[in-house]
Structure 1
Amino acid sequence: MATRTEITTKYARQYKKASKKNKGAVLDEVVAVTGWTRDNARRRLTQAAKHPPGPGRQVAKQPRKPRARKYSYDAVKVLQRVWAISGGQCGKYLHATMRILLDLLEAHNELTTGQDRYDKHVRKELLAMSPATIDRYLKPMRARDAINGISTTKPGSLLRSAITIRRAGDEVEDEPGGMNPEWWTR
């Protein structure tokens, strides 16, 4: 791969400077040396001409710089509190009931303006959040408070013994609900 990268870098300069007629000859040389198809060689040459690899360039892409948070830290903390009080609703339900929840929490003095990071600005931010944003901001808290454990239910033998299992050689009963083989031949 390193050799192909060197060849691509070398020919990319020639390919970029060449006229339309000479570009075909450069493509033929690259195809002969690397074994690539013409389309692949053309794509790699134009890419290498636009972004030549530097001497210290690494193969892995550098991580993208995270986008700045749209909502304040106070709004996220109040959101987490409202989510916990609501019983851990999903973002869609929480978004739909956010105004009602905030009104009720204010009426019962669970959220008081000026205390515990809650004020009018935080309320406005909470009401402006989309369901997807609510889910995104609650993701760390959900991961921390995830329900873990083993189910306590065990498979019982009562149900297995109550249901009879028929095999291919068993006789068919002449009761309602049973299948009569004579019906199949009609």
Structure 2
Amino acid sequence: MSDRHTAPQSEKKPFLYVVVCAAGIAGDVGKLITAAQEAHWDVGVVATPQGLGFIDATAVEAQTGFPIRSAWRLPGQPRPLPPADAIAVAPATFNTINKWAAGISDTLAVGILCEAYGFGIPTAVLPYLNSAQAAHPAYGRSLARLREMGVLISSYEPHQPAAGGGADLFRWEEALELLTPELAGGG
């Protein structure tokens, strides 16, 4: 009865990379991980080197079941994460957004983002910065460049400088809201 052995197999879950940058709200990344897991994603976290200091690495690794990536792997080392089906950059800082748009691949996190374009991996970004940073001309140009590249950008409005950060207005789940139609449309 080979039909029994060809019964529907459990489908492979899509794999989401969450790129975490050094921002005050980064410690809440578990909210996005939980939302993604509830939406049947497997999740791996890639942190900028500075972003590592803003998250509880032990808790994040326990929640995802995967090691956090932050540095390039050495030749011959296995890949600790499966390939990404989609990427969410949350929170995305002024620095990371500008480096990514300019193609400055000086960290693993930004390197992955730069390559995602060439691989056609759907990518959503949830900027988190203050209005003084957002006023800099490079920021607007960087967002325009990312939009030209097909990056999906959240609706978060920059918060006032030194005003506590606007964490209550940051919608972690917006990353999934942006990516879901992209993936359903054959992306």
TM score, norm. by length of structure 2: 0.20
Query: Could you say which structure has the higher helix fraction?
Result: 1
TM score, norm. by length of structure 1: 0.20
Query: Could you say which structure has the higher strand fraction?
Result: 2
Larger radius of gyration: 1
